[in-house]
Amino acid sequence: MTTRTSWADLAANSAADNIASGSASGSGRPVYVPPHLRNRPPSADPPAPTSTGPASSNDRHGQGGSRWAAPRNDYNNRSGYGGGGRPGGWGGRSGGWDRGRDREVNPFGNDDDIEQAFSEQENTAINFDAYEDIPVETSGDNIPPPVNTFAEIDLGEALNLNIRRCKYVKPTPVQRYGIPISLAGRDLMACAQTGSGKTAAFCFPIISGIMRGLVPQKSLRGARTVFPLALILSPTRELSMQIHEEARKFSYQTGVKVVVAYGGAPINQQLRELERGVDILVATPGRLVDLLERARVSLEMIRYLALDEADRMLDMGFEPQIRKIVEQMDMPPPGVRQTMLFSATFPREIQRLASDFLANYIFLAVGRVGSSTDLIVQRVEFVQESDKRSHLMDLLHAQRANGAQGKQALTLVFVETKKGADSLEHWLCMNGFPATTIHGDRTQQEREQALRSFKSGATPILVATDVAARGLDIPHVAHVVNFDLPNDIDDYVHRIGRTGRAGKTGLATAFFNDNNASLAKSLADLMQEANQEVPAWLTRYAARSFGGRSRRPGGGRFGGRDFRRDSSFNRGGSDYYGGGNNAGGYGGGYSANVAIVCIVFSRGIGEEVLTKNRDHFILSCCHLLVIYW
Ligand SMILES: Nc1ncnc2c1ncn2[C@@H]1O[C@H](COP(=O)(O)OP(=O)(O)OP(=O)(O)O)[C@@H](O)[C@H]1O
């Protein structure tokens, strides 16, 4: 890799006069300076060196302690909430970390110069035509209007520069609508299709808000507790790492510091990183609870809370932890903090739970809630269990024969169990197909190594459990194979969404047999809605089946979105929903037509049935009485 000056650094340094120093004068010791104090006149210190060495965005954990400044000092000199507005516009805030001895690693690498980067924009940009006709619905009070360009949004100079470095030419629909809503300080529940740019939609307003210095800072002198201003929670370690990497790019030289904390990695290293200062903490719930219980992190100063894959974060697996973090620690309540929930799927009962975390929020749906994008060609093939391996082999051979014209085409294969993943990987390797696995029984190091090897194309087949189903943005995944279909149609939507991202097309193949009968109806409905060819045999299965675990009330393009519009929700005198725009066309959906359902089970079976069908029960019942014997 070349180590010449990156275009990003050149651009930043051309505005050297504006670079905020923030170094502790006199001490010679670099200190963390909170963002609201960084908009200072340039100091005598030299600007940051323009070459950052060969560090890549993936070597975060190998950097030892050299990346950031010494432990943060007291930063009590603060502005209050909402205080001050934006004096003098944004132009002056392009500096970042203390530039005494330490420097911010350039997360864009050192690969391009300015000219080259901008000339490449056209080629690499998202295919926006793919989003032209996408239906968008918003509901709630006083909804800020959408924008058409990033230039229309006052995000700040340094962030705008990073958006250009990312080669984002214009905002995707979820960004066009979502960013103005969040910048206006409103809570948001946003549902948009996989691969449509939700990460930036929640990161930009957070970074911009912190840059504006509207958030007070706090530290306790001598204490080791840190007080992040924003918290981004995601369900998996790999997704948290990815969000962290994205957020670091967006916040490069803005002065906003992003730190990640997730399980499976040594906590001491993460503690050290936190001690160097944190504005935005990206975390998985388990590790965050650990940090909170050790009193190493306080949520007292949280101004922004974002839940990525919010429906997953609020389903049974995570809900208790999320409630603990959000409701039982020291986080400011809804209305004081700003809360943003994002996902591609938002079952109604989860929306209901989620509303506990929000204040007078706006609901945004880009495309139908939980729909898949029609950029993904979906195929379903009837394959008996015993034939699955040979069928997969046929697919892979055909793929090889068709060739990807020198480009690395990656295949992601989803299976049900961790054992199944290991055994399929072994079998593939034995048959000459380089494969690796990612699942919960592998060490974190192995998981990260597997992902790296897959991304690089060294092992172009990744066999995965649902741990890789959500959020991961891996370029060049050309084919997703559902070797084992999931029980839940929403999981299917997220899995196939690992391909066909950012306006690109992709292919998803599912192996279906009698074991998947309960998914037939929701799968057929989903495919039909995404203009896919539904095999006649699947339609017959669908006609026979009860409907699977479909949590999609209403049906039709705009059936059932914001749950506040559901008549059964409003019946009890609830007054959540306050109007909105684009009304009309909402399907009725489920109604609470069963007062009490009494289920009598033997213990083991009953628990399993209940666990698997909880959401369905919640949808259909007001009260559920369960008796075991
Ligand atoms: N405005 C934009 N212009 C060009 N590319 C963009 C833009 N916004 C996002 N992208 C790119 O699109 C890809 C998908 O974005 P992202 O991972 O945020 O999708 P997502 O909606 O969160 O998907 P998922 O539902 O799977 O989590 C990323 O590679 C991102 O860099």
β-strands 506-512, 477-482 pairing: parallel
Atom of ligand 1 nearest to the CA of 475: 29
State residue 404's pLDDT score: 53
CA of 63 to the centre of ligand 1 (A): 27
Atom of ligand 1 nearest to the CA of 126: 4
Nearest CA to ligand 1 atom 16: 197
Query: In angstroms, rounded to a whole number, what is the distance separating the alpha carbons of residues 90 and 209?
Result: 12
Output the six-digit token pair for 540: 């017959």
Query: In angstroms, rounded to a whole number, what is the distance separating the alpha carbons of residues 217 and 80?
Result: 9
Query: In angstroms, rounded to a whole number, what is the distance separating the alpha carbons of residues 466 and 444?
Result: 15
CA of 155 to the centre of ligand 1 (A): 18
The 3-state secondary structure of 230-242 reads: EEEECCCHHHHHH
Which residue type does 241 have? Answer: M
Residue that the structure tokens 């007292």 belong to? 300
State residue 408's pLDDT score: 65
CA of 412 to the centre of ligand 1 (A): 19
Nearest CA to ligand 1 atom 31: 197
CA of 200 to the centre of ligand 1 (A): 7
Atom of ligand 1 nearest to the CA of 166: 31
Query: In angstroms, rounded to a whole number, what is the distance separating the alpha carbons of residues 126 and 628?
Result: 54
CA of 471 to the centre of ligand 1 (A): 9
Output the six-digit token pair for 354: 């989620």
* Alpha-carbon distance values, 456 to 277, 290, 414, 437, 462 (Å): 32, 33, 19, 14, 12
Cβ < 6 A, ligand 1 pocket: 125-126, 168, 171-172, 175, 192, 194-200, 344, 471, 473, 497, 501-502
Nearest CA to ligand 1 atom 3: 168
**Partner residues linked to 370 by β-bridges:** none
State which of 152, 199, 246 you would mutate to test the pocket of ligand 1, scoring each by most atoms of that ligand within 8 A of its C-beta. Answer: 199
ipTM: 0.99
Residues in Cβ contact with 273 at an 8 Å cutoff, skipping those fewer than 6 apart: 68, 259
The top-level CATH class assigned to 128-366 is alpha beta
State residue 217's pLDDT score: 65
**Partner residues linked to 58 by β-bridges:** none
**Partner residues linked to 230 by β-bridges:** 280, 304
pLDDT tens-digit readout, 336-365: 999 999 999 999 889 999 999 999 999 999
Q: What are phi and psi of 286, to 5 degrees?
A: -60, -50
Q: In degrees, to the nearest 5, what angle opens at C-alpha 152 toward C-alphas 183 and 304?
A: 15
Query: In angstroms, rounded to a whole number, what is the distance separating the alpha carbons of residues 377 and 201?
Result: 26
Query: In angstroms, rounded to a whole number, what is the distance separating the alpha carbons of residues 543 and 524?
Result: 10
State residue 216's pLDDT score: 60
Output the six-digit token pair for 488: 């839940």
Atom of ligand 1 nearest to the CA of 125: 4
Nearest CA to ligand 1 atom 2: 168
Query: In angstroms, rounded to a whole number, what is the distance separating the alpha carbons of residues 354 and 335?
Result: 14
Nearest CA to ligand 1 atom 14: 195
| DSSP 3-state of 5 | coil
- Residue 270: its H or E element: helix 267-275
Q: In degrees, to the nearest 5, what angle opens at C-alpha 306 toward C-alphas 376 and 233?
A: 85
CA of 243 to the centre of ligand 1 (A): 11
Read off the DSSP letter of residue 406. T
CA of 126 to the centre of ligand 1 (A): 9
Residues of the chain where predicted confidence (pLDDT) is lower than 70: 1-103, 110-132, 214-222, 369-372, 402-408, 546-561, 566-629
Atom of ligand 1 nearest to the CA of 169: 3
| DSSP 3-state of 173 | helix
Read off the DSSP letter of residue 472. -
Residues in Cβ contact with 159 at an 8 Å cutoff, skipping those fewer than 6 apart: 204, 207, 208, 211, 250, 251, 254
State which of 123, 169, 196, 371 you would mutate to test the pocket of ligand 1, scoring each by most atoms of that ligand within 8 A of its C-beta. Answer: 196
State residue 55's pLDDT score: 31
For the beta sheet containing 461-464, the strands, ordered from the edge strand earlier in sequence to the opposite edge, are 376-382, 506-512, 477-482, 410-414, 461-464, 435-438
State residue 1's pLDDT score: 34
Are domains 128-366 and 376-545 of this chain identical in fold? yes
Atom of ligand 1 nearest to the CA of 168: 3
State which of 473, 494, 498 you would mutate to test the pocket of ligand 1, scoring each by most atoms of that ligand within 8 A of its C-beta. Answer: 473
Name which of 150, 146, 156, 109 is nearest 126 in CA terms.
150
* Alpha-carbon distance values, 196 to 56, 311, 365, 440 (Å): 25, 17, 12, 27
Query: In angstroms, rounded to a whole number, what is the distance separating the alpha carbons of residues 337 and 472?
Result: 27
Domain boundaries, the chain: 128-366, 376-545
pLDDT tens-digit readout, 103-151: 678 888 754 443 343 334 333 446 666 666 788 999 999 999 999 999 9
CA of 502 to the centre of ligand 1 (A): 6
Handedness of CA 614, 617, 621, 623 (dihedral sign): negative
Nearest CA to ligand 1 atom 1: 171
Which residue type does 545 have? Answer: S
Read off the DSSP letter of residue 326. I
**To which CATH superfamily is domain 376-545 assigned?**
P-loop containing nucleotide triphosphate hydrolases (3.40.50.300)
